Amino acid sequence: MSKMKVLMVSAEVEPFAKTGGLGDVVGSLPKVLNDLNLDCRVLMPLYGKIASKFKDKMKYLGFIYIDLGWRHQYCGVFSLRYDQVTYYFVDNEFYFNRGNLYDDLDLEKFSFLDLAAFEVAKFVKFKPDVIHIHYWHTGAIAALLNDHYRHQDFFKDTKTVYTIHNLAYQGVFAKDHVLDMLPLDKEKYNNTHIINLMALGIQYADKVTTVSPNYANEILTSQYGERLEGLLNHESNKLLGILNGIDENTYSCENDKLIYHNFKKQDYKEGKLENKKALLSELGFDVNNSIEAPLIAVISRLASQKGMDLLLTIIHRLLDQDVRVVLLGSGDKFLENEFAKISYYRGDKFRAVLKFDNALAHKIYASSDLFLMPSAFEPCGLAQMICLQYGTLPLVRACGGLKDSIFAFDENKLEGNGFSFDNYNPDDFYNTIMYALSVYERKELWNQVIENGFKCDFSWLKSAIRYKVMYEQL
């Protein structure tokens, strides 16, 4: 029997381009699906900023033209076989050779990507059984299949799966602008001035998944539904929550080439100490004075979703304790300024590194003691699973995927892999940090939590099997 063919389409794919969890997910799931005997291929933009070590190995397959309304646009097609997965890259420098992945041309360039997904599939003769689309950027693909491509023999049996990674980013645009680019059925939009591209994905895909079981329930409520709870409830029979996994080779204390010192999980005490010394030194802290103090880390987009306002509210209280805190993040300018100021005034204990730096992120994961994620909402969250691979304990607000993956330490049963609090308020957050620090003082208990964390299985296999079963049911 021939293998089931799945075409994933995404704006971000690690290791080629990533700004957050989307890149991690689409960068790691296809390989595991292929191990499960599927033929999963990935299509993404050929961004100018993709490293030349990848570009140099790509094969040029030819070019086609994509018609975006009245625009007739060149689309180069490249491919690369990397780590057991075939990638297709769509090239148009006007759209994708720009400074940032995201900017004010998003609607047009992702409309181009969405149409290219169909045209390139035909061009390379990869007839997908399933097109699996991600984020708002590719939501329109489900509607395009329904309104336009379904009539073509090539796509007559194709099904679509839409994955919601974060309901906060929906891709809402003026109707006229969307219809100026995409061949959608205009009649359907007579009563609206806007088109919500995520909503198109939810409405027209055959199956809708989101990145954790708990978030799949939360988004049916007005607290977390971001005004799409009505539609989501209507479509709830096709909604499924599947917890993201992480690539355990990329995030591995033993094999990670980006950290200072590799160590085996059995030898984590020494291994972590070596890494901690190196990071404290790189950050310019006095290592001798700082080594005993717990090193608390935050690696995050600086956005209100991530609970950074809670952190700002408690940071001075926290820095009055014997702690060192490092924050790696970028985003919201107000938050960047506030953390920069705190770095300036409280340089004895606090460092803010305000940029996106993958290598430094790995070093921080490996070197820290406690990792903070006080999110207001968190569809899945990867950082809490990543830090556990290095014996760094997560402290999270119990919501979304954080609730599915982190279980508060119970001193009596000696169970749990981190710390958590329920209510989104600064005092609960602060008190939970204080509790975690009290456990840090009792080293056998702290080490117990680290060891519990090492035993957790966050690999993709379980979740990939669930995706495979779902594709087959379609």
**Residue 132 to residue 6: CA distance in whole angstroms:** 7
SS3 of 410, please?
Answer: strand
Residue in 254, 336, 357, 451 binding ligand ADP, rule: CB under 6 A: 357
**Residue 243 to residue 334: CA distance in whole angstroms:** 32
User: In which residue are the tokens 């090539």 written?
Assistant: 154
Closer to ligand ADP by Cβ: residue 46 or 299: 299
Question: Could you tell me which stretch among 37-45, 103-111, 200-208, 357-365 binds ligand ADP (CB under 6 A)?
Answer: 357-365
Closer to ligand ADP by Cβ: residue 261 or 301: 301
Q: Is 161 near ligand ADP (CB under 6 A)?
A: no
SS3 of 90, please?
Answer: strand
Give the chain's radius of gyration (CA, Å). Answer: 23
- Is the preceding peptide bond at 426 cis, omega within 30 degrees of 0? no
Residue-wise DSSP of 418-458: BEEE-S--HHHHHHHHHHHHHHHHSHHHHHHHHHHHHH---
**Residue 89 to residue 42: CA distance in whole angstroms:** 8
Closer to ligand ADP by Cβ: residue 77 or 372: 372
Q: Is 300 near ligand ADP (CB under 6 A)?
A: yes
What is the number of residues in the chain?
Answer: 474
Closest approach, Cβ 32 to ligand ADP, in A, equals 17
Residue in 4, 8, 9, 24 binding ligand ADP, rule: CB under 6 A: 24
**Residue 429 to residue 309: CA distance in whole angstroms:** 11
Closer to ligand ADP by Cβ: residue 120 or 382: 382
- Are 205 and 142 spatial neighbours (Cβ–Cβ below 8 Å)? yes
Strand partners, 5: 39
**Residue 86 to residue 80: CA distance in whole angstroms:** 6
Question: Could you tell me which stretch among 154-162, 316-324, 376-384, 462-470 binds ligand ADP (CB under 6 A)?
Answer: 376-384
Closer to ligand ADP by Cβ: residue 21 or 416: 21
Closer to ligand ADP by Cβ: residue 299 or 376: 299
**Residue 190 to residue 332: CA distance in whole angstroms:** 36
Residue in 98, 301, 346, 466 binding ligand ADP, rule: CB under 6 A: 301
Closer to ligand ADP by Cβ: residue 19 or 262: 19
Q: Is 453 near ligand ADP (CB under 6 A)?
A: no
Q: 336-344: which pairs have CB atoms within 8 A and are 24 or more residues apart?
A: 336/302, 338/312, 339/302, 339/312, 342/315, 342/316
Residue in 5, 10, 17, 21 binding ligand ADP, rule: CB under 6 A: 21
Q: Is 20 near ligand ADP (CB under 6 A)?
A: yes
Closest approach, Cβ 436 to ligand ADP, in A, equals 19
Q: Is 381 near ligand ADP (CB under 6 A)?
A: yes
SS3 of 166, please?
Answer: coil
Residue in 216, 299, 370, 396 binding ligand ADP, rule: CB under 6 A: 299
Nearest alpha carbon to residue 182 among 140, 154, 149: 140
Closer to ligand ADP by Cβ: residue 359 or 469: 359
Three-state DSSP string of 39-85: EEEEEEECCCCCCHHHHCCCEEEEEEEEEECCEEEEEEEEEEEECCE
- Are 307 and 398 spatial neighbours (Cβ–Cβ below 8 Å)? no
Which amino acid is residue 186, in one-letter code? Answer: K
Residue in 356, 407, 435, 454 binding ligand ADP, rule: CB under 6 A: 356
Q: Within 13 Å and on the Cβ side, how many CA atoms surround 355?
A: 5
Q: Is 330 near ligand ADP (CB under 6 A)?
A: yes
Q: Is 195 near ligand ADP (CB under 6 A)?
A: no
Q: Is 361 near ligand ADP (CB under 6 A)?
A: yes
Question: Could you tell me which stretch among 95-103, 218-226, 310-318, 381-389 binds ligand ADP (CB under 6 A)?
Answer: 381-389
> How many chain residues bind ligand ADP (CB under 6 A)?
18
DSSP-H helix ranges across 268-416 = 268-282, 287-290, 308-319, 333-345, 358-367, 383-388, 400-405
Q: Is 329 near ligand ADP (CB under 6 A)?
A: yes
Closest approach, Cβ 357 to ligand ADP, in A, equals 5
Closest approach, Cβ 22 to ligand ADP, in A, equals 6
Residue in 249, 281, 358, 431 binding ligand ADP, rule: CB under 6 A: 358
Closer to ligand ADP by Cβ: residue 359 or 461: 359
Q: Is 416 near ligand ADP (CB under 6 A)?
A: no
Question: Could you tell me which stretch among 99-107, 225-233, 378-386, 459-467 binds ligand ADP (CB under 6 A)?
Answer: 378-386
Closest approach, Cβ 177 to ligand ADP, in A, equals 27
- Are 332 and 302 spatial neighbours (Cβ–Cβ below 8 Å)? yes
Closest approach, Cβ 353 to ligand ADP, in A, equals 8
Q: Which residue is nearest to ligand ADP (CB)?
A: 21
Q: Which residues bind ligand ADP (CB under 6 A)?
A: 20-21, 24, 166, 299-301, 328-330, 356-358, 361, 380-383
